[in-house]
Structure 1
Amino acid sequence: MIQCKRVYEAAQSTDGQRVLVDRLWPRGCSKESLGLADWLKRVAPSDTLRKQFCHDPALFDEFRLLYRAELAAHPEHWQVLLEMARKGNLTLLYAAKDEVHNNAVVLAEFLEEERERCGPPSSPVCYAGEL
């Protein structure tokens, strides 16, 4: 399961691997307090895209499209997250106040789609040679 959570929320045992997916370190948080498995700055939106979006919900649909294009162009930035998600729970941490319109939500959607796309074969043709 892939879930998103603000860095200011307490860690829980169901979080699994906790990964910060923001380019900037969140204010007022120590590394120890977050219980991070990793901080993946490079998976966050580019500085240009982040500044263009500026957490404006009216721009979120455009942001989603542009951020997904950035992700598709750089699988090396998010492949490790897909591997973590295959092994157990993955929590994507972000600092934004808006829990619906943020990069972690878009990233979680993207990763879920990739996980489904790359899942086990689903048609008889795909099973050819496996029997």
Structure 2
Amino acid sequence: MQIAIKRVYEKPDASDGYRVLVDRIWPRGMKKEEAHVHEWLKDIAPSDALRKWFGHDPKKWKAFKEKYEAELSAHESQLKDLLKKAQPYGKLTLLFGAKDEKHNQAVVLQEVMQKFIFTSHP
């Protein structure tokens, strides 16, 4: 199954499959009906402390990735359940609000979830 990432502000598309918002805070200026999300998983977003510490500073990216991966280890069953929910759609799209498309939690989450797929399908 494909796992994609996309800014929540981009136009929804049928090819997005199962759309999941992975921000802890609802995106500024975005109405819920405009987002077209199947699910909002704020519990798997970075903790408030980690989010505030990172502040989308690319210089902190490597440390942020390590800390967020450690936080995600506590949500392994929830992430695997998410993959099961998305399976009928053939694609999971992780939505985020950050302007930086290379340094955000969806990038880390995508990598972690792809590892789950790889290890469960030898």
TM-score range, shorter chain: over 0.9
- Kindly report which structure 2 residues correspond to 1:49-128, keeping only aligned pairs within 5 A, or say none: 49-87=50-88, 88-119=90-121, 122=122
Larger radius of gyration: 1
Displacement after TM superposition at 1:80 (Å): 2.6
Moved more, 80-89 or 44-53: 80-89
**Separation in 2, partners of 1:113, 1:77:** 15
More helix by share: 2
**Separation in 2, partners of 1:94, 1:76:** 21
Same amino acid, percent of matched pairs: 50
TM-score calculated relative to the size of structure 1: 0.86
For the Cα contact (< 8 Å) 1:84–1:90, is it kept in 2? Answer: no
- Cross-structure match for 2:31: 30
- Cross-structure match for 1:39: 40
- Cross-structure match for 1:128: none
Displacement after TM superposition at 1:77 (Å): 3.4
- Cross-structure match for 1:7: 8
Displacement after TM superposition at 1:85 (Å): 4.2
Moved more, 59-68 or 70-79: 70-79
For the Cα contact (< 8 Å) 2:17–2:86, is it kept in 1? Answer: no
Displacement after TM superposition at 1:50 (Å): 0.6
Structure 2 gap ranges (5+): none
The 4+ residue runs of structure 1 with deviation greater than 6 A are: none
